[in-house]
Structure 1
Amino acid sequence: MSSMRLVAIALFACSLAVPAFAQAPVPAETPDSTSVAVSEPATTHATAPAPAALQVPPLRPVSSTIFEEGNPFKLSATDFKKFFGAETAKTLAFASIFAIASAPWDREGVNNGFGIPTTVFESGNVIGSVIFQVGAGLATAGIGKATGNQKLGYAGRDIVRAQVLSQGIVQAIKFSARRERPDFSNNKSFPSGHSASMFSTATVLHRYYGWKVGVPAYALGGYVALARLAWNRHHASDVVMGAGFGIAAARTVTMSIGKSKFNLGVQPQAGGASVNFTKIYQ
């Protein structure tokens, strides 16, 4: 198989992430407060003593914070419900188009591993495994908690959530589609679980840290996809659709990333009160 075709397959998988790059990275938390004072009109009568200040507690935030609280495995129950929506349909539609485009190369890889030296891609089989990715997510979450880095901690947690969601969907499809692997080892070829795992992690990192982290993460996803072809474990369309499911799962668990939080409070003042609006970008 020509090197140009191999590059095209990797680009097919990586290009599924292009719509995600429209999402801006998460900026640092910065409050922007605006105070609107409301007072009674002036009168010509004698001024009465100012009343004692009232103690009015601030109102609760009118929108949820950027990060969902909770254990990643408990949150996964709601993640599966959120997965089946318009955003997922759009991502998988793009993936399907690229998978169909790569289908003519499926048979060419049967029993020859696409002619790629397996030693070059040996580590891709390890990096892309769900066990490795879940472990990396838990380690990241632990480091974030230990160092007080809330953003890093939540990023690690969401990597785990994305793994649970993507593998839950992918494994269900594997047992339903029953597509035979190119090496004829079993009938669980479609879609690629390794590709789904790596691309879900890459998408979470991109959503949290922007393109500077996203680009190398997606490139690593392309490397993992090629590794599965090199070892003759998947057809080209398998890894492309696996990438699509991974991206869709990660976007599902990071829906709240980039949203802002509004706080509303009332502060009593002599002869009136002030209403304070605070917008926090996170």
Structure 2
Amino acid sequence: MNWLKNKGGVVLLCFILNLGVRAQDDNTGTHERWEYILVDTGDVLQIALPVTAGLTTLIKKDYRGTRDFAFSFATTMVLTYSLKAITKRQRPEGRNAYDSFPSGHTSAAFSGASFIQRRYGWKYGKYAYILAALVGVSRMEGPDGFHDIYDVLGGAAIAVGSTYLFTKPLSNEKLSVAFHAQRDVKLISLRFQF
């Protein structure tokens, strides 16, 4: 397990160093370094969050979660790119691209984050949502401002909605006890899940 931590640290260090090098590539002087770092971080997180969600299901041997994530992620992506083609909304930075609504980066990131939260709870979900929100900010505040707030909110709503449609929370409880009382009838039920 230590080799995984060490390699993870090396990968993270290389990523951070790469961001610093890329941020110095703008010779025009029109953008600040933090804008490039923000966009690069968003680009990585839009992939890292769904990959983390999928790998978590496999590591935990939660194969129902794997299936739920596959359905919710696929639905999110199909809806996102269908809406891009239907709405044909121009990008806010002014180039001739008519695929602004909804934000695909934000959809992907929130799909991973909302799955982690829905399936495994807020303990990990809160951090995943913070990272997904960072992706949304990167799409609006980067050097070119690829999206506006409506594009980002639309992408997030599609992802969270798809997740809640297909995913149920993981229940670790094997035994549940219920009590029901009505006038003359008292009922105790035991349920054991295996």
Task: Give the TM-score taking structure 2 as reference length.
Answer: 0.64
Structure 1 stretches lacking a partner, 5+ long: 1-111, 264-275
Kindly state the Cα deviation for residue 222 of structure 1 after the two structures are TM-superposed.
0.7
Query: Is 1:246 aligned to 2:156, yes or no?
Result: no
Q: 1:116, 1:236 → 2: CA distance? A: 20
Query: Is 1:163 aligned to 2:81, yes or no?
Result: no
Q: How far does the alpha carbon of each residue in 1:211-261 deviate from its partner, in whole angstroms, 9 at most, with x for none?
A: 211111111111010111133211111001111111100001114756x99
Matches within 5 A, 1:201-240: 201-231=112-142, 232-240=145-153
Matches within 5 A, 1:47-196: 117-129=35-47, 132-145=48-61, 150=62, 153-183=63-93, 184-196=95-107
The structure with higher relative contact order (CA 8 Å, sep 6+) is 1
Change (3 A) 1:182 1:116: farther
Task: Specify which structure has the higher proportion of helix.
Answer: 2
8 Å CA contact retained: 1:167, 1:196: yes
CA RMSD of aligned residues (A): 3.3
Change (3 A) 1:156 1:230: farther
8 Å CA contact retained: 2:52, 2:112: no
Q: How far does the alpha carbon of each residue in 1:160-190 deviate from its partner, in whole angstroms, 9 at most, with x for none?
A: 3221011111111110000011232511100
- Local SS of the residue matching 1:117: helix
Specify the alignment match of 1:199 in structure 2.
110
**Identical positions, percent:** 26
Q: 1:280, 1:118 → 2: CA distance? A: 53
Kindly state the Cα deviation for residue 155 of structure 1 after the two structures are TM-superposed.
3.4
Q: 2:120, 2:170 → 1: CA distance? A: 10
Q: How far does the alpha carbon of each residue in 1:65-92 deviate from its partner, in whole angstroms, 9 at most, with x for none?
A: xxxxxxxxxxxxxxxxxxxxxxxxxxxx
Change (3 A) 1:138 1:217: closer
Q: 1:126, 1:185 → 2: CA distance? A: 25
Q: 2:125, 2:133 → 1: CA distance? A: 12
8 Å CA contact retained: 2:118, 2:168: no
Task: Give the TM-score taking structure 1 as reference length.
Answer: 0.46
